[in-house]
Structure 1
Amino acid sequence: MTRVHDMGGRFGDGPVIPEGEGAPVFAEDWHARALAVTLAAGALGQWNIDMSRHARETLSPGDYARFSYYEKWISALADLLVRQGVLTLDELRGGDASDPHPLADRRLGAEAVARVLASGGPADRPADAPPAFAPGQTVRTVRPAGNRMVDGGHTRLPSYAGGARGRILRVHGHHVLPDSNAHGLGEAPQPLYAVVFAASELWAMPEHPDDEVVLDLWQSYLEPE
């Protein structure tokens, strides 16, 4: 079954309409606040970026379909706060909260925002083995395109690329494996590759068959061709 968030190449969802040049970064003021509170809550250290992505992906299908981009963000954040025990459901609804909160000393102060955003959250890790594939080598993605560790779990292999034949363009080094990290199973770093696919390999009737798509894919997503 296609995951509700995995919309790439899917028919029936309508065209992608890019915003025009000069469009504001945030269409509404609350969008900026939704981003800010999500980043600030992440600084509490109770989840990682892959868990955060998975929380957005696992919103109920009805909510996912009708929510705007930042509604997805703020709704997933609410789920994470309760699921990870940062807040109770009553506190989230506006009930009395403990004062001070046990995580108060981990808050992201305004003076630290620029430094934290500039440093980012690197996901590259030391290599413990050489990569299995090299630039120029032909590979095929696994099929079906799903998490092999957790049934229905998070993965960065889009469904439209499952079973597709591609070519290794670049080796990025070893990076945290989202399929594991999103579920608290450890970072399990693997080699990460930029893989080139012909549009005709991914879709039966591409508008431009000679176009190419480059996907960053982990080693466990790939098989030798």
Structure 2
Amino acid sequence: MTRMHDMGGRFGDGPVQPDAEDAPVFAEDWHGRALAVTLAAGALGQWNIDTSRHARERLAPKDYARFSYYEKWLAGLATLLVEKQVLRAEDLAQTADGGEGTGAAAVAPHPLAARALKAADVAAALAKGGPADRPSEVAIAFAPGDAVRCRRPGGNRLVDGGHTRLPSYAVGALGRIVRVHGTHVLPDSAAHGLGEAPEPLYAVAFAASELWSAPEHPGDEVVLDLWQSYLESV
């Protein structure tokens, strides 16, 4: 998480308002389409989940603040489609009635057409998911019950300003290992095309009072999934 995206525990944003139990899955019809096109584009195999997360994190702060959830998804997707040369900016600018961006280049078969996700394959693709567990040469260093501290400073140590899954509110916090998840792809590396670099992943519990100076419920715990390189022995 970087920049505007890393807002957990931040003051001034108001309480989280959960949806009603009977709320529809998608508040508006286009939300479902936004999810569908994002998943379909991901099936082209030009990026991974960490790359896509980083694309949304890189939105300009003014856009991130004003965009709704699925607007952030679409904006991140547009960034990836152009950066990975799947589409041109001109292609994204064309209108539904065939306005700007039409022509021979717009109607010619796309080089990735064979990888298009067909409707009949959607259920199987969703059921398969995208497992991120991988074998690793990095030895597991911690066990359930071990006390650990999140490293300081936080942030991506491979790429300045890069993607990481260590939230800023946990940097320097003391916690305890509650579960070893095995070894998984390291987002800090995978998001930037530096390889999967798998390493041990842990569920780590933190007292609310360890994370925030004035927690509403000091006895609460927060459990975060954190990679081994984010942690230090105590």
What's the TM-score bracket when you normalise by the shorter of the two chains? over 0.9
Partner of 1:147: 156
Partner of 2:229: 220
Partner of 2:189: 180
**TM-score in terms of structure 2 length:** 0.94
Find 1:156's aligned residue among 156, 159, 165: 165
The one-letter code of the counterpart of 1:137 is D
Partner of 2:117: 108
Q: CA deviation at 1:148?
A: 0.6
Over aligned residues, Cα RMSD in angstroms?
0.9
Question: Hey, what's the Cα distance between the residues in 2 that align with 1:54 and 1:196?
Answer: 25
The runs of 4+ residues in structure 1 deviating greater than 2 Å are: 127-130
Partner of 1:206: 215
Q: CA deviation at 1:15?
A: 1.1
Preserved contact between residue 127 and residue 173 of structure 1 (Cα < 8 Å): no
For structure 2, list consecutive stretches of 5 or more residues without a partner in the other structure.
Answer: 95-100
What does residue range 14-25 of structure 1 map to in structure 2 within 5 Å?
14-25=14-25
SS at match of 1:196: strand
SS at match of 1:55: helix
For structure 1, list consecutive stretches of 5 or more residues without a partner in the other structure.
Answer: none
The one-letter code of the counterpart of 2:213 is A
Partner of 2:47: 47
SS at match of 1:151: coil
Question: Hey, what's the Cα distance between the residues in 2 that align with 1:98 and 1:43?
Answer: 21
Preserved contact between residue 172 and residue 193 of structure 1 (Cα < 8 Å): yes
Find 2:145's aligned residue among 136, 140, 146: 136
**TM-score in terms of structure 1 length:** 0.98
Partner of 1:117: 126
SS at match of 1:124: coil
Q: CA deviation at 1:132?
A: 0.8
Q: CA deviation at 1:162?
A: 0.3
Q: CA deviation at 1:98?
A: 4.9
In the TM superposition, what whole-angstrom CA distance separates every residue of 1:87-135 from its partner, at most 9, and x where no partner exists? 0111111113251001000000000000000000000011324301111
Partner of 1:88: 88
SS at match of 2:206: strand
Answering whether residue 83 of structure 2 is matched by residue 76 of structure 1, we say no
Answering whether residue 136 of structure 2 is matched by residue 127 of structure 1, we say yes
The one-letter code of the counterpart of 1:207 is E
Question: Hey, what's the Cα distance between the residues in 1 that align with 2:233 and 2:107?
Answer: 55
Question: Hey, what's the Cα distance between the residues in 2 that align with 1:136 and 1:213?
Answer: 15
Preserved contact between residue 144 and residue 159 of structure 1 (Cα < 8 Å): no
